Amino acid sequence: MKGGALWKAIAETLAGEVAGGLYPQGAKLPTEADLSDRFGVNRHTVRHALADLGARGLVISRRGAGVFVVGRPTDYAIGRRVRFNENITAAGRRPSRALTRIETRLAAEHERVALHLGPDALVHVVEGVSCADAQPVAMFRSVFPATRFPALPEALRADPSITKAMAAGGVCDYARASTRVTAKIAKPVQALRLQLREGAPLLRTEAVNVDSDGAPVEYGVTWFAGERVTLTIAGEG
């Protein structure tokens, strides 16, 4: 195995062990010397692998003390009722969200199908980045029927909470009708937004939320940072 592939393989091994809980939040990783012995490589190769973990936001180096795990993957429940703030708070972390796009336009064909809209229907498109403890964990795009929520853009510009904006539009509760999960890799813009390396693993979810009458109110696509989030399938309830 060539040198470049060696440090990448070591980085992926250590990232997997962090994700698996072998090195919990705040834990100190083995020293460069110990890792060199474990993987049979020189310290320069180990140092390169650790630098990659640092660039991903998984570890932090403290001069004279060692390299420590910054955080653990956040459990994120996917079930009938999915709320970002509640999920992140339940994991013991602080949620936040930054909106990067609020636009009203004609619905694309797949959006019309998902939201049961007719030809020439308008939709509100909302995009942003969701964070846990100020670390990006997901990019999202949510699409709403404009006729159902005429004031949603203004509400979101005042407060980025989608749940509150929908409540202001008369939908005080909604449920997940379907979720489709696929594996992807981070493209350049996604990597930049999520502070990941290009090609890092992503978990893409495509979902439809419905109101109490079963009418679609939101079609959403979310790209979760695979190294920072563990999706769990919650039971009905």
Question: Does 28 share its domain with 82?
Answer: no
Q: Cβ-count burial of 68 within 10 angstroms (0-12 exposed, 13-18 middle, 19+ buried)? A: middle
* Cα–Cα distance measured from residue 10 to residue 5, given in angstroms and rounded to the nearest whole number: 9
CATH of the domain at 41: 1.10.10.10
Query: Same domain, yes or no, for 150 and 179?
Result: yes
**Total count of domains within the chain:** 2
Find the CATH number of the domain harbouring 90.
3.40.1410.10
Tell me: do 22 and 64 sit in the same domain. Answer: yes
Task: Single out the residue in 69, 88, 105 at which a domain terminates.
Answer: 69
Candidate ranges 73-77, 87-91, 188-192, 217-221; pick with highest mean pLDDT: 217-221
In this structure, are 52 and 87 located in the same domain?
A: no
Tokens matching residue 127: 């995009």
Same domain assignment for residues 62 and 177:
no
Same-domain pairing of 191 and 102: yes
Is the pTM here over 0.85, yes or no?
no
Domain interval for residue 135: 74-233
Pair (82, 134) in one structural domain: yes
Provide the strand spans (E) within 17-121: 59-62, 66-69, 74-78, 95-106
The mean of the pLDDT values for the chain is: 89
Task: Report pLDDT digits (tens) over 168-216.
Answer: 999 999 999 999 999 999 999 998 898 887 888 999 999 999 999 999 9
